[in-house]
Amino acid sequence: MDLFQAMTVYVKVVEAGSMTAAAQSCGMSTTMVGNHLRALEQRLGVSLLKRTTRKQSLTEFGGLYYQRCLEVLGLVADSEQMAEQANSDVPKGLLRITAPPAFGTERLAPALSEFSRRYPQIKLYVVLSNQRMDMVDSGFDVAIRLGDLDAPSLIARPMQDYTITLCASAEYLARRGTPQRPDDLQQHDCLAFAYPATDDWRNADKLWRMRGAEGDVEIPVSGSLTINSSQALRQAALEGMGIVMLPDALVEPDLRAGKLVALLTDYQLPSRPMHLLYAQDRYRLPKLRAFVDFVMEKWAR
């Protein structure tokens, strides 16, 4: 007995409502459909269908087995599609990506239009999150991540460092004055990002670090807003609420337009390493290779 064929026939019988209709759908005789069902029931040692002269219905186990057949046959179909794509030179199929929100919004998303023009047969599914999700369990093909790596089983390609700028609006500076030294920040409203407890920057809402001619400096700061959204911090800064430390990817347009003013530019602010991560065994897929090459072309270190 071909188990996968028998499972396929069983699914058709359940969905078609009768062996006759399933036979027509499968392109085989009703007798052959019955043979597949009997062989399957004998293998399992349990009945799948209750049959009468007028109708058929599922046994309790038959209903559970039908759902499991759908899962198994779906995995087989996915595996065959993966193999087909791996043997094809044309990048195509669904590519699942996760990236940090600020980088994803300001840098990745605008570049994806170019990527889609190059590879029109690739469909993109993008999740922007600071959460370090397990790529395998979450079903992602590729991830862009900040900070120290904690996934030794994945290939990590270094990208340009994730840099930040200290800035505020001209209106806020006119009202409160412009800090000339790091210590001056203690007299200002310093708006902070609320990092998760598992993040290595989790204390950055209370202590800002920078490096100058005198060496490393740590400044205790406080302000009226701590929030877990870079975009929200940017809006608060634009409204004159206080001084912020935000990713360059997010504030560069505002700095060029004069909406925000860079502060303490003689000091070097912390940066975070950024990597492109993917499983080695999936790199054979043309869709993933195309995306990796594209990202490295744009943002390789």
In the chain (301 residues long), the average pLDDT of successive 10-residue segments reads 87 88 86 90 90 80 90 81 67 94 94 97 93 78 88 89 96 97 96 84 87 93 93 96 95 96 96 93 90 96 87
Distance, in Å, from the CA atom of 39 to the CA atom of 35, rounded to the nearest integer, reads: 6
Q: Does 93-161+273-299 carry CATH code 3.40.190.10?
A: yes
CA atoms within 13 A on the CB side of 242: 20
| pLDDT for residue 86 | 59
The answer to whether 263 touches 166, Cβ cutoff 8 Å, is yes
Contacts of 48 (CB under 8 A, 6+ apart): 10, 37, 40, 41, 58, 59, 61, 62, 65, 66
Which residue, 240, 215, 213, is CA-closest to 225? 240
Distance, in Å, from the CA atom of 259 to the CA atom of 272, rounded to the nearest integer, reads: 25
Q: Is there a shared CATH topology between the 3-82 domain and the 93-161+273-299 domain?
A: no
pTM of the model: 0.67
Which residue, 299, 212, 181, is CA-closest to 248? 299
Write down the domain spans for the chain.
Answer: 3-82, 93-161+273-299, 164-270
| pLDDT for residue 111 | 97
| pLDDT for residue 160 | 95
Residue 230 has which token pair?
């870079």
Distance, in Å, from the CA atom of 27 to the CA atom of 275, rounded to the nearest integer, reads: 51
Which residue, 93, 74, 44, is CA-closest to 284? 93
| pLDDT for residue 109 | 96
Distance, in Å, from the CA atom of 254 to the CA atom of 237, rounded to the nearest integer, reads: 10
| pLDDT for residue 278 | 94
| pLDDT for residue 84 | 61
Which residue, 41, 22, 47, is CA-closest to 33? 22
| Topology of domain 3-82, CATH | Arc Repressor Mutant, subunit A (1.10.10)
| Topology of domain 164-270, CATH | D-Maltodextrin-Binding Protein; domain 2 (3.40.190)
Residue 5 has which token pair?
């064929």
The answer to whether 12 touches 25, Cβ cutoff 8 Å, is yes
Distance, in Å, from the CA atom of 38 to the CA atom of 222, rounded to the nearest integer, reads: 74
| pLDDT for residue 252 | 95
